[in-house]
Amino acid sequence: MRGLIASPLLRRLASLDLSFNNLIDGDVRLLAACATLQNLTTLDLGHNDIRDDGVEDLASSPHLPNLTSLELSFNRGITDRGARALAASPRLGRLNSLGLSFCWVSLEGARAVVTSRLLEGLRTLGLGGCALGNEMLAALLALPHVGRFHGLSLDGNGIGLAGAQALAECVSLRELTRLSLHGNTIGNIGTEALASSPQLSHLTELDLHGNGVGPAGVQALASSPHLAGLTCLFLSECPLGQAGAEALVSSPHLTRLSELYLNGSQLGDGGTRVLAASPLLSRLRFLQLAGNGISDEGARALAASPYLSRLTGLRLDGNSIGNAGAAALATSPALPRLSWLCLEANDIDDEGAIALAASPHLERLTQLSLRYNPIDDRGREALQRRFGQRLEL
């Protein structure tokens, strides 16, 4: 940290990412005392070992006058005391985004932040993993200040059906554009409540990853006119199956989707064929289908789809795609913009690797991931010659 803060380059930085660096309070104290951070607008300190003392040093620092985004998620030593320090800081008045997910912040700390007059510019707040439960969530949503938020993350809070219904009924959330509810056991009925809420009609991003959403829940999402503005939808680790895929593509409303995350959603080849044949996917830039039991048949369906021409990222790791599927993707002209292709942990050997290396259609790839496949020296050499540093193997 001492070497970093001594660098003259800090004066030019507008964004600084120090996540996953095992930082402790002493490191944050040095950072907060650094007079060359005046131009910094974005600071990511997530996934470290920062505690309340470090947060108090940040909150009192005179050297962060332009900070608009502060990420502190996954620092388990941050409690309500740290949240109160942020809420009481006159030096953080420009903050519009604050991440406190998976810290030890309770309703008390969340209330302090939400009601702070010094943080009135805050528009995005992460409170995932704070064990709020549906009763504390209801108390939080009752605060009139909640109405100013455009982005709200409540992942892993165990809010369940009652919490989903509270969110759906909260008239203060009319300006919300991003809602993340990953891992809250909301289920189909909770999903139906969210889908039927006119309060959520401004949403562009909805994360329901790991909420037990099945075909009935997907049908509710697909049928909702209130969700017509969605551009990004997360339904990974939900038991969709082919019926869920069919419900999704039947939607007359979800025509703006540009990112779709369906990892581990039990699609199989049948569900993959349904997706590949749908014009609903014609705007997609990112499609993630990892861990879905997709074989060569599903890969061929994707390769032949006339609706994936805008796709720049395709994730297919953890499936059962072999050489024939890899060759279908390699020889397909239907994916002209693809820059990221992940085929890790499939059944591709030298034959499939050589087909990918010889592809005339993968010129735009900046990253090809093929780790955990049975590829030997011949396939490795062909891939290295073609893709060089763009290859992860």
Indicate the range of 20-34, 78-92, 137-151 predicted with least confidence: 137-151
Mean pLDDT of the chain: 95
Does a structural domain hold residue 278?
no
**For residue 369, pLDDT beyond 80:** yes
**Model pTM score:** 0.94
What is the model's pLDDT at position 8? Answer: 76
| Residue range 247-256: mean pLDDT, rounded | 97
Q: Look up residue 119 and give its two tokens.
A: 């943080």
Does a structural domain hold residue 40?
yes
Does a structural domain hold residue 77?
yes
pLDDT digits (tens, 9 = 90+) for 8-62: 777 889 999 999 999 999 999 999 999 988 899 999 999 999 999 999 999 999 9
Neighbours of 144 (CB within 10 A): 9
Does a structural domain hold residue 302?
no
Helix, strand, coil % over all residues of the chain, rounded to 5: 40, 10, 50
Does a structural domain hold residue 263?
no
Angle between helices 350-357 and 323-330 (to 10 degrees): 0
Does a structural domain hold residue 92?
yes
What are the CB-based long-range contacts (under 8 Å, 24+) for 26-29? 27/1, 27/54, 28/54, 28/55, 28/57, 28/58, 29/53, 29/54, 29/57
| % pLDDT > 70, the chain | 99
Distance, first Cα to last Cα, the chain: 33
Positive or negative: CA dihedral 188, 191, 195, 196: positive
| Residue range 286-302: mean pLDDT, rounded | 98
Number of domains in the chain: 1
Question: What is the DSSP secondary-structure string of 237-260?
Answer: TS--HHHHHHHHHT-SS-TT--EE
CA distance 254 to 307: 15
Positive or negative: CA dihedral 199, 122, 84, 158: positive
More confidently predicted of 196 and 147: 196
Asked whether the beta carbons of 108 and 134 are under 8 A apart, the reply is no
| Residue range 349-377: mean pLDDT, rounded | 97
Does a structural domain hold residue 284?
no
What is the model's pLDDT at position 4? Answer: 73
Give me the domain span that covers residue 32.
1-124
pLDDT digits (tens, 9 = 90+) for 209-223: 999 999 999 999 999
What is the model's pLDDT at position 143? Answer: 86
**For residue 2, pLDDT beyond 80:** no
Residue indicated by tokens 């009601």? 115
pLDDT band at 193 (very low <50, low <70, confident <90, very high): very high
Does a structural domain hold residue 181?
no
Question: Where residue 20 sits, what CATH number does that domain have?
Answer: 3.80.10.10
* Pairing verdict, β 69-71 and 124-126: unpaired
Residue 29, burial from CB neighbour count under 10 angstroms (0-12, 13-18, 19+): middle
CA distance 179 to 8: 39
pLDDT band at 145 (very low <50, low <70, confident <90, very high): confident
**For residue 174, pLDDT beyond 70:** yes
**For residue 120, pLDDT beyond 70:** yes
What are 226's strand-pairing partners?
none
What is the model's pLDDT at position 379? Answer: 97
